[in-house]
Structure 1
Amino acid sequence: MSFLNRRMLMAGAAAILTFTVAAPAAAQVTDRPVKAAFIYVGPIGDFGWSYAHDQARLYLEEQLGDQVETTYVESVAEGPDAERVLRQLAQDGNDIIFATSFGFMNPTLRVAQQFPDVKFEHATGYQTAENMAAYNARFYEGRAVLGTIAGMMSETGKAGYVASFPIPEVVMGINAFTQAARAVNPDFETQVVWVNSWYDPAREAQAANALFDQGADVITQHTDSPGPLQAAEERGAIAFGQAWDMQSFAPNAHMTAIVDRWGPYYVQRVQAVIDGTWETGSVWLGMKEGEVEMAPFNEAMPEDVRAAAQKIVDDTVAGTYHVFTGPIRDQAGEERVADGEVIPDEELLSMEWYVEGVRN
């Protein structure tokens, strides 16, 4: 096992459920460990997104043992730096490279074209190539659980949302959270503050405090540090973690969190390299497949809230609940989704509009 730690300055779709064959399978790797590299947008100590991917890397090592050798590069800015790091990892002889942030998509595609014998995997994007696959998780399913809790526990009927960048994945999460909350409280509102960063603890905490000052008594986030949670703890409010269980940072405020379980996917894909069966394609997995989970519910949650939140989880897994089922209206009050209809995956993956109740 080798670790490549690099500190860099941070700058600011297909939805197919099975892999599709695009080329003959690669040769097996049986005479040495498969070299697998990971590139992270934040530090592994963010205890959120990058931490979750690194825990999955460790799970990969645990499951495959001496069949795999892993390397990671952390805190890589999205843009030219990412392309340079990806190219170096390919030149270093890695067999498969996992690029774990949306903004790495185009750099990954360019480098994949330059190294056709290396396998590339990109998280949360939509572009693929003969040697580049895409993988994603249905985070919005967890956001619906958070919205249900917020709608039931908020006294002001107003939540604050600390958001990173207005890409479809984030817009989708804001909408799922708000739609679920308004199913409980039709007057519920979500105020969004954009911090234009994935990881900036100070700025995230400042955004949370600004939202509290505007009347929010619930904070959720699509940023990766515990900063908003810690602000909620200080203000006596409730909040939710991002990508991993963050309760240790805010034992009273943290009600639950979306937990990203990437480990089984990484094992599957590296095993495919070992077996010579790796194929390109695109997957979008969620609660049903175990890729999205909820952290334990805080004991402070009332029993009826806990039951309602668990029902959203159970019904999502069973396929009987979908948060984006109509009727759904947008910010202007116009109906976007008719009663009983469900927004199709291809539209979710390009979502740029906001549901009624979002203030951004």
Structure 2
Amino acid sequence: MTPRALNALNARSADAGASNVRGFTRRPLLAVAAASLLLLAGCGKKDEAPAGAASAPEAGATAGSAAPGEPLNIAFAYVGPVGDGGWTFAHDNARKALEKEFGARIKTSFVEKVPEAADAERVFRDMVQQGNTLVFGTTFGYMEPMLKVAADSPQVKFEHATGYKQAANLRTYDSRTYEGAYMAGLVAGAMSKTGTLGVVGSIPIPEVIRNINSFTLGAQSSNPKITVKVVWVNDWFNPPQETNAAQTLINAGADVLMQNTDSSAVLQTAEKNGKYAFGWDSDMSGYGPKAHLGSAVINWTPYYVATVKSVLDGSWSAGPGKHSWWGVKEGAIDLVSLNAAVPAEVKAKLDQVKAGLKDGSFVIWKGPIAGQDGKEVLAKDAVADDKFLQGIKFYVKGVEGQVPAGK
């Protein structure tokens, strides 16, 4: 990890103490020069949501809507290229869905490969100067630049993906990726022949650890004897390292892989080795059709549509605590493109879990749940709240190895 990344994590830790937010940012700032932007395809984007966050956009009129007869100008800042096949690809698909939904009532634009660095502030200021009155920043590292520009542009509404700081005209939003991880685990546990699963982890902060644990819990719901191995690459988009990590896991006996990284390297490595794997953030089935068991995808469209509607009808509001954390219930998370090899009874069980997550009758993090040391972390029938989920820094029973220290 670069010095800048370490500084970002330390800063997030200090902010968390001041804001009663547990855990670290999912996306450290990137020490990458503009000439190296090719590596940014999936880097930098996510963070832990604050405790007590709102679950959906709320009412309350603010200034900054489009003038009568004029389209609402909306701008998106992307950390990677729109064709990255993962995180940015998912956001841009949602942008296109907005255009289809609202037609001539809106006009959208985007700037891709905007680094999580000082230059981001210039990009946001340029978006404001071009007449955009709704601006989406889709990576955690944009938080401070967006706060600065928002303070100077009260007529503009800002939406920050994965952040935890809000302002009078800036609110935050995120997705419950752990729900997709659990559903992938349910399938993985049923499909594994060795009883050993593998996860390629990015950076060991609460979100990623939560996803690994949820994947494990899902797998154990299909096979209680499942064990999970983890190899960390300490990066978000690094295909060579992701490839090496996946191969290491396969060599160690893992026959089904999941990733919390942003390229398709893990899936492609599984394809070459005749193993199974999952896509992440977007549908990656095309990168390894034989290996692909399913993709845990994020659908930003429901949130983006709800947001634009609220701006157009004057009900959009921001301020402290205005944060949304959406999942299966809101149509933001799903497991899609299941492999035909998945048995019908597993698909039926998956459908039951999806239905339960949607109507609230099923809860992933419900006790009894034990840590890998065997000690109870959730008592029988106890349900983890968001504060608990956002502060997970331990492995559940069944995950091998140790969570890297100092994160």
In the superposition, the TM-score normalised over structure 2's length comes to 0.81
Amino acid at match of 2:281: A
- 1:77 maps onto 2:115 in alignment: yes
Alignment partner for residue 25 of structure 1, among 62, 69, 78?
62
1:352 aligns with 2:389: no
Deviation at 1:8, TM superposition (A): 6.0
1:58–1:248 CA distance, 2 compared to 1 (3 A): same
CA distance, structure 2, for counterparts of residue 334 and residue 322 of structure 1: 21
Q: CA deviation at 1:107?
A: 3.1
DSSP-derived class of the 1:46 partner? coil
Partner of 2:195 in structure 1?
157
Q: Structure 2 vs 1, CA of residues 83 and 175 (structure 1 numbering), >3 Å: closer, same or farther?
A: farther
Does residue 139 of the first structure (1) align with residue 177 of the second (2)? yes
Provide structure 2 residue ranges, at least 5 long, that are not aligned to the other structure: 1-33, 45-49
Equivalences for 1:1-360 in 2 at 5 Å?
A: 9=37, 10=40, 13-14=50-51, 15-20=53-58, 24-29=61-66, 30-280=68-318, 281-358=322-399, 359=401, 360=403
- Report the Cα offset of residue 151 of structure 1: 1.2
**Range that drifts further, 120-129 or 71-80:** 71-80
8 A contact 1:7–1:75 mirrored in 2: no
- The residue that corresponds to 2:9 in the other structure is none
* 8 Å CA contact 1:37, 1:97 repeated in 2: yes
- Alignment partner of 1:223: what SS? coil
User: How far apart are residue 136 of structure 1 and its match?
Assistant: 1.6
State the AA in 2 paired with 1:321.
F
* Cα deviation, residue 20, structure 1: 4.5
Q: Following superposition, which runs of at least 4 residues in structure 1 exceed 6 angstroms of deviation? A: none
Paired residue secondary structure (2:281): coil
Q: Structure 1 pair 190/79, CA: closer, same or farther in 2 (3 Å)?
A: farther
Q: Distance in 1 between matches of 2:124 and 2:373?
A: 43
Determine the C-alpha separation between the residues in 1 that align with 2:229 and 2:123: 36
Pairwise CA RMSD of aligned residues? 2.2
Looking at structure 2, the residues matched to 269 and 109 of structure 1 have their Cα atoms a distance apart, in angstroms, of 19
Query: Which letter does structure 1 place at the counterpart of 2:72?
Result: V
For the residues of structure 2 that align with 1:209 and 1:308, how far apart are their CA atoms? 30
In the TM superposition, what whole-angstrom CA distance separates every residue of 1:92-133 from its partner, at most 9, and x where no partner exists? Answer: 332111111233333322332232222111112322111111
> For 2:118 and 2:137, how far apart are their aligned partners in 1?
14
Query: Distance between the aligned counterparts of 1:82 and 1:330, measured in 2?
Result: 40
**Gap runs ≥5 in structure 1:** 1-5
Displacement after TM superposition at 1:24 (Å): 4.6
Q: What's the % identity of the aligned pairs? A: 44
The amino acid across from 1:283 in the alignment is S
